[in-house]
Amino acid sequence: MLWQHKSYEDYILDKNISINVLPSDKIYYYDYPYKVQLEGNSAHYNIKNVTEINDWLWDNFSMEFKSQFTSKYHNIYFKNRDTLYAFCERYCDKIINLYGPINVKHFNYITNRGSEKWKINNAYRTKLWYGRYDAKIEVFTTLSSGTRDEAKQQVKEFAEYIDAHLENKQWHSNINYSHTWHANYLYCKQDELEDLIPWMKLCYDEVIRVIYYIDCFGKSDK
């Protein structure tokens, strides 16, 4: 990860930046500390503006950003703060919100710096997932270690194990039970999940990509 090779202070956003800055809840896509929200969404957007922005980014920072449309915004993720600032200087009037680390404590929190816990990262949120869950597991399988049938079987076995041992939970996406290779999500409670961690580490390491915990720094029952 990038922050292993730079000073942590180099990732903190300037308090005096003239944009609405909000604390990020995680490192996006495991490599991008910053997210910028622009006008437009997956259904409606200004193609001229989007083309201009994308062309400028590819011409100047081809390996430093990721662009994505959602149902609400056009999101652009940045790896490097200097790249982000160059974008903000050029397109300040088009930015709705900017998300990123707001201080060292916050940065340490979302990167889980120093933690030795297996695949567990902190999530900075002010609300529980679905109003009740403080843990989230991303399940992900690839075909690199076997056939498609083997990959599907791995997910199927993990889902069956969870269904048999966790009563308070919620699956999201394709896991019940299409067992596709891409990401699926399980939401549950930390205190109930902790008892299962050793067995999950032993048997399902290949299908569990990351586990997010909402800790006391960001937890709220609202």
Q: How many angstroms separate the CA atoms of 45 and 51, rounded? A: 11
The count of other CB atoms within 10 Å of the CB of residue 42 is 12
**End position of a domain, from candidates 78, 108, 138:** 108
Whether residue 219 is contained in a domain is answered as no
Which is more confident, 101 or 104? 101
Q: Which of 50, 84, 108 is the last residue of a domain?
A: 108
The two tokens of residue 65 are 């950003």
Do 87 and 149 have their domain in common?
no
Q: What is the pLDDT of residues 152-183, one digit of tens each?
A: 787 788 888 898 888 899 988 654 444 444 56
Sign of CA dihedral 196, 199, 200, 201: positive
Over residues 213-221, the mean pLDDT reads: 57
Specify whether the CB–CB gap between 158 and 171 falls below 8 A: no
Does 173 reside within a domain? yes
Q: Residue 187: which H helix or E strand, with range?
A: strand 184-188
Residue 218, in any domain of the structure:
no
**Considering 39, 74, 108, which residue would you say is the last residue of a domain?**
108
How buried is 218 (Cβ within 10 angstroms: 0-12 exposed, 13-18 middle, 19+ buried)? buried
What total number of domains does the chain contain?
Answer: 2
Q: Which of 25-39, 82-96, 177-191, 195-209 has the lowest mean pLDDT?
A: 177-191
Structural domain span for residue 148 = 115-213
Domain with residue 174: its CATH number is 3.30.70
Domain shared by 16 and 87, yes or no:
yes
User: Same structural domain for residues 193 and 122?
Assistant: yes
Q: Is residue 101 part of a domain?
A: yes
Same domain, yes or no, for 78 and 123? no
Q: Are residues 76 and 140 in the same domain?
A: no
- pTM of the full predicted structure? 0.56
Do 128 and 83 lie in one domain? The reply is no
